[in-house]
Amino acid sequence: MMRVRPVAWTDFEGLYALRVNRYAEIEKDPNYGMVSNPAPPTPGEFATWFGGLHRDILEGKGVCSVAEEDGRIAGMCSIRAEGTAVETRHVGNLGIEVLTGFRSSGVGSALLPHALEGCRGRFEEVHLSVLPVNEPARHLYEKFGFEAYGTSPRAFRRGGTYHDFIQMRKRIL
């Protein structure tokens, strides 16, 4: 049975496995999502990211929900302040990851409302970027009230191929 809850310090190993899985998926399908580095993070690099996520949560500049199935992390949705400037902290930037094998099983549909509920009182809007070829993700976001507001041309490059990003947003009021 799937359980959605706030992230905990004890989720480190499961979330690290989720992140490493993302890199393996991109090797199989270059149209799947984006990554921060050219190679999977080391445990130390991931620990730095994980610590920063918890710092943002404690400072009211982030939320993170995890989906767990039979004690295994199946997905994560984090929303963090768009920037460090006080003038941009009302906007959260959403990132979501679902482990291979759990896609199209309701994990994203369970994670999104949980994370968005945590945004109340922290963010006025949540933004995200999605590749046009990632139709399942776009449909998921639309299902939860996100609307496209523009395109960033050539914003994403993998290898020698450029892709646009569709920019989406949802007001949190």
What single-letter amino acid sits at 124?
E
Edge-first strand listing for the sheet containing 2-6 = 2-6, 62-69, 72-81, 91-98, 125-130, 161-171, 147-158
Domains of the chain and CATH, by start: 2-126 (3.40.630.30)
* pLDDT tens by residue, 7-29: 999 999 999 999 998 888 877 77
* pLDDT tens by residue, 54-111: 999 999 999 999 999 988 999 999 999 987 888 888 999 999 999 888 887 899 999 9
**Integer Cα distance of 49 and 4 in angstroms:** 21
DSSP-based three-state secondary structure for 101: coil
Output the pTM of the full model: 0.91
